[in-house]
Each structure stands twice: as C-alpha cells, then as structure tokens.
C-alpha cells in the first residue's frame, strides 16, 4: 500500500502532519486602579475606552476602578497597563491580577 504522505506510515519520514486546528490564546487580567479623589468616574471612562479593556467600573473599597483587559500576550497586557492606563490623568496606582484557567 502506498503512503499518501499525510500519515505516520512507512515512507512518511517527515515528522507529524501539520496541526490544523491551532487555537490562538489570549491572556486576561483584572486591573485594580487607585485614583485621585474625585476622579474615579473619569478614570473608569478613560480606561473603558482603551482597545484592550473589556470593562471598567467604579468600585468602593481600596480600589476605585476595577477593569478587565485582554491581550495576545502577557507582555502586551503589561504594555496596556504601563503605557495606557498609568498615563490616564487621575490614576495614582495600578495592580495587575492575571486570570488563570485551572
């Protein structure tokens, strides 16, 4: 029987066939934001307008705004926080909490 080249039979010799259903993963995280007094609503609005941010809401407690963001890699997510969120007027401090799927 001749090998068609797509399997692992005799004569294939070129390793496993290419993966057909490649899943592109992304990373998600919560961004906890402490804002200057009186700026929480503006910070939430500006954060929510960022492309990588899925949602941003005003909260009560030690953090004034809680946002959820997604990016292709953890480095990309870090860039969102360092360059975009931390540049928003009124943002005092951020804490990035990556989401894990267990």
- Which candidate, 86, 53, 38, places its Cα nearest to that of 95? 86
Place of tokens 């307008």: 49
pTM of the model: 0.75
CB contact set of 71 (below 8 Å; sequence gap of 6+): 26, 27, 52, 77, 79, 80
Run of H or E residues at 43? helix 40-48
In the chain, what are the domain boundaries? 38-98
3-state secondary structure of 57: strand
- The pLDDT score that the predictor gives to residue 101 is 84
Highest mean pLDDT among 1-10, 13-22, 39-48, 72-81: 39-48
CB contact set of 39 (below 8 Å; sequence gap of 6+): 64, 89, 90
- Which candidate, 40, 57, 48, 59, places its Cα nearest to that of 85? 48
- The pLDDT score that the predictor gives to residue 90 is 98
Q: Are 99 and 52 a contacting pair, CB within 8 Å?
A: no
The fold for domain 38-98 equals Alpha-Beta Plaits (3.30.70)
Return the minimum-mean-pLDDT range out of 22-31, 59-68, 90-99: 22-31
């Amino acid at each position: 029987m001749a090998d068609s080249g797509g399997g692992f039979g005799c004569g294939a010799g070129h390793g496993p066939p290419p993966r057909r259903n490649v899943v592109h993963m992304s990373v998600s995280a919560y961004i906890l934001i402490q804002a200057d007094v009186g700026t929480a609503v503006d910070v939430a609005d500006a954060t929510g307008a960022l492309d990588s941010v899925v949602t941003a809401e005003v909260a009560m407690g030690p953090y004034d705004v809680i946002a959820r963001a997604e990016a292709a890699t953890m480095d990309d997510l870090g860039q969102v926080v360092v360059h975009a969120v931390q540049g928003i007027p009124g943002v005092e401090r951020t804490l990035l909490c990556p989401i894990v799927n267990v």
